[in-house]
Amino acid sequence: MSLFNLIKQTKISKEESLYPTKQCVFYLEGKGVNTTALVKKGDEVVVGSVIGKEKEDLSIPVLSSVNGSVIEIRDTYNTEGKKAKAVVVEVTENTKLEEKEVNINSLSKEEILNKIQEFGLLDETGVPLSLKYRAFSGNKLLVKGFSYESNIAYYDFLNVKEKEINKALEVLNKLFVSLDIKKADSKSVSKKTIELKREELISKFFGKDAKNEDVIVEDILTLVYLGECFLSGQPHLDEYVVVSGSAVKENVLLKVKLGTTLDEVLETLGGNKEELGKVVVGGALRGLPQFSEDSAISYNAKAILFLNAKDATKASESPCIRCAKCLRACPEGLNPIKLMELWERGEKEEFLKFGGNKCIECGLCSYVCPSKIEVANKIVTAKAFIK
């Protein structure tokens, strides 16, 4: 069973919660480049403690999701493969913060934006919601309830969280007067690759005259997080993550604390570390392989694939048979195999001439390739070097 065969079969059997019992790793990746640790080795932290922050006033704090003791601040790699400092906390007792719903009717627009900032909320692309909403002056909201990544399959589960979603919409209606709301789901969007092209998605639901800057596009998961925070009065400390793959016993939607290590997630779901061959965080097409199971859950993880050694084995590449499937699959209308060959020959100018910099890194060209050529990876590498 290959990775791409696997994602067609992803069905969630149930929803569970996980509170870590060992260590939590909080990346000071920040929501910018100047995030510094506000704690040191030996410090005690509690749920909601600010352990890292940028110097900018509008920055999003890095919060502890657990009670525990700081045992190390180390240089490591985050789940995106980027170098980052991390605060490592040894978990002690499991306690919950007292919940108290925020009365938004008593708050001004500025006070609501400050609350969103304090809650540490981001959209699905990693942009702080407080900054996004401060800059927005339009009156249209498009709620995205689908993904072309077949293993990101939480939408049916999230649709039942009406209380959280309605609260989020109440907050947004308080911020933006006469908000025109539309929902894009798998029933209304037949071609799911439209997700990759924001302008096309907006045009489909608001018409060709709708301006990009007049529309907020939010994943339904972002609305759930926003609603949860205002209902509880507590910051965003948990992520909903679809955990699936051949190295775990069943596919589940896991509500897990930020900072929980992938190793503990695997162990909790009955996975065998000795049989583990590969871990991918994110979608099966665009997700990133992990260096280590010591990597931790961070913002917008969305999904984790645990593959056993058999399924993680890379298929051997065959020569290109010129079938043109990659051309038909490309949402941007590019010629992926041509771009790959131009890069391999070192023809950088030709690579750019043929639109290599327009690749949106969706991975579909690799997915459809009958010769198992890693076309997407090679184009992504080319883009990185040409920059």
Which among 223, 221, 239 is positioned nearest to 231, based on CA atoms?
A: 223
- Per-residue confidence (pLDDT) for residue 63, from 0 to 100: 93
Closest CA to 331 of 356, 365, 354, 381: 365
pLDDT, tens digit, 9 for 90 and up, residues 340-371: 999 999 999 999 999 999 998 888 999 899 99
Question: Which pLDDT score is estimated for 2?
Answer: 41
Identify the burial level of 328 via C-beta atoms within 10 angstroms of its C-beta, where 0-12 means exposed, 13-18 middle and 19 or more buried.
exposed
Question: How sure is the predictor about 8, in pLDDT bands with cuts at 50, 70 and 90?
Answer: low
Provide mean pLDDT across the span 126-143: 93
pLDDT at 13: 65
Q: Give yes or no for residue 373 having a pLDDT over 80.
A: yes
Percent pLDDT > 90 in the chain is 57
Is the pLDDT at 56 greater than 80? The verdict is no
The whole-number pLDDT of residue 5 equals 43
**pLDDT at site 109:** 95
Q: Judge whether residue 154 has pLDDT over 70.
A: yes
Looking at residue 58, its pLDDT comes to: 67
Measure the CA–CA gap between 79 and 310, rounded to whole angstroms: 23
pLDDT tens per residue across span 283-304: 888 888 888 778 999 988 999 9
Strand partners, 218: 143
pLDDT class for 312, splitting at 50, 70, 90? Answer: confident
pLDDT at 6: 41
pLDDT value at residue 72: 95
pLDDT value at residue 34? 63
- Identify the residue with better confidence: 375 or 153: 375
The reported pLDDT for the residue numbered 359 is 93
Closest CA to 67 of 53, 79, 51, 78: 51
Centroid of chain to Cα 367 = 20
CA distance 65 to 260: 9
Burial code (b: 16+ CB inside 10 Å, e: under 16) for 137-162 equals eeebbbbbbbbbbbbbbbbeebeebe
DSSP state of 62: E
Average pLDDT in the 115-139 region?
A: 92
Q: What is the pLDDT of residue 256?
A: 95
pLDDT in tens, 233-269: 999 999 999 999 889 988 899 999 999 999 999 999 9
Question: What six digits make up the tokens of 29?
Answer: 């990746």
In 8-143, alpha helices (H): 109-119, 129-134
pLDDT value at residue 193: 67
Q: Could you report the per-residue pLDDT of 21-55, keeping only the tens digit for each?
A: 999 999 986 554 567 899 999 999 999 999 998 87
With a cut of 70, say whether residue 57 has pLDDT above it: no
If you average pLDDT over every residue of the chain, what do you get? Answer: 88
Q: For the chain, how many residues are written? A: 387
